[in-house]
Amino acid sequence: MTEKDKVLKELYPEDLLNVSKELTEGEVEFLKQLDDLLETKYRDSINDHWVNATVPEDFFDDMGKLNYFRNPLLFEGREGAKTPSQLFQFFMSYTVARFDVSLVTVLGVHQGLGHNAFLFGGSKEQVAHYIPKLQSHELRTCFALTEPEHGSDVAGGLETTAKRDGDQWIINGTKKWIGGANVSDVIPLFAVDVDTGKPKGFIIRPEQDGVDIDVIENKIALRIIPNTNIHLKDVAVKEEDRLQNINSFKDIAKILYSTRAGVAYMATGAMAGALRATLDYVTQRKQFGKEISKYQLIQEKLAMMQGNLSHAMTLSAQLARMQENGEYDEVATSTAKMMNALRLRESVSMGRGITGGNGILAEYDIARFFSDAEAVYTYEGTHEINALVIGRALTGDSAFL
């Protein structure tokens, strides 16, 4: 057994099908550093942050210091690569999600939706200016698309408007569920051009006149994340701050397709976190004179949780391979997101059931995964919307409307 194999066995003991074996030594070293950071710095406080709906203060800065876009470790053994491998990106999301779903969502909104809004939607000048600062975490971003009355139907239902007025645009409307807008430096925000009826993208700053942001309270899931409402009243945005390559919903959809795979990865990691939390519990909890891990019915449920995880890991890894080859297919990503989120919901339910009454207490971890799974099931395309994407491909008929 090589040194890399030993580290992988310790880092991912739940990887029964050796999906992680394709990672390079440099990638494994980086992932070990990431896991060590999470466990040593944030393990003791993560449940308190969830209960109190607070963000771990240093998390965003710590992730920036890891330099996960350009760390030399990620290019060792992948000669000629210009970006980290898709398999690495799967395991990075997996590793953070296994620790906490809120933290991986914080990261996913910034490095996925927000970053890609600038990467895909920006002009050459905008990409050159913003992308290095976003990748280093010098700047923080989010993604402002969803509205109070429009989630699944944003393709044709945006009510936030943009009106051209000389060399600037005047924006009015409201956005909802925008994670981290209150702590972002720049916000890619989408509004309908009133003259053309087509959506466009704009770079908004929280301190601008006419921008009012408030945090949504009393959530039962992703409590660590400050989801927000953004209210826009006659907000003036210069033409130079319009994302030049966002001129239709197809342009926005490209961003969504690129990140939907990331949610499939998050769901897989969350399954691993739920399994770990459940195993920790059953090996300590005694009933009728022995640890409950020794009972047949418990072991059957644990086996199902492991089976769901192994299925999701292989599905995610194959999706990563496809994307590594440039195959960004909406049906494939919708299938992975739909199935992994569904299996996550099933797994956390079994884990919560196994842990009995204690399973509703945050101190036992499974309660956090149980609750947060509900958000994963919904965001980046609900189960039903992803099913309709797949159904359209199977039948040739669109059943959206």
What residues act catalytically? Answer: 380
Tokens of 257: 């397709």
Q: Is the dihedral of CA 297, 298, 303, 304 positive or negative?
A: positive
- Residues 6 or more apart in contact with residue 49 via CB below 8 angstroms: 55, 56, 102, 224
Cβ-contact 84, 74 below 8 angstroms: yes
Tell me how far apart the alpha carbons of residues 52 and 31 are, in angstroms, rounded to a whole number. 28
Q: In a 10 Å sphere around its CB, with 0-12 CB exposed, 13-18 middle and 19+ buried, how is residue 61 labelled?
A: exposed
φ/ψ of residue 101, rounded to 5: -75, -35
3-class secondary structure per residue, the chain: CCHHHHHHHHHCCCCCCCHHHHCCHHHHHHHHHHHHHHHHHHCCCHHHHHHHCCCCCCHHHHHHHHCCCCCHHHHCCCCCCCCCCHHHHHHHHHHHHHHCHHHHHHHHHHHHHHHHHHHHHCCHHHHHHHHHHHHCCCCCECCECCECCECCCHHHHCCCEEEEECCEEEEEEEEEEEECHHHCCEEEEEEEECCCCCEEEEEECCCCCCEEEEECCCCCCCCCCCEEEEEEEEEEEEHHHEECCCCCHHHHHHHHHHHHHHHHHHHHHHHHHHHHHHHHHHCCCEECCEEHHHCHHHHHHHHHHHHHHHHHHHHHHHHHHHHHCCCCCHHHHHHHHHHHHHHHHHHHHHHHHHCHHHHHCHHHCHHHHHHHHHHHHHCCCCHHHHHHHHHHHHHCCCCCC
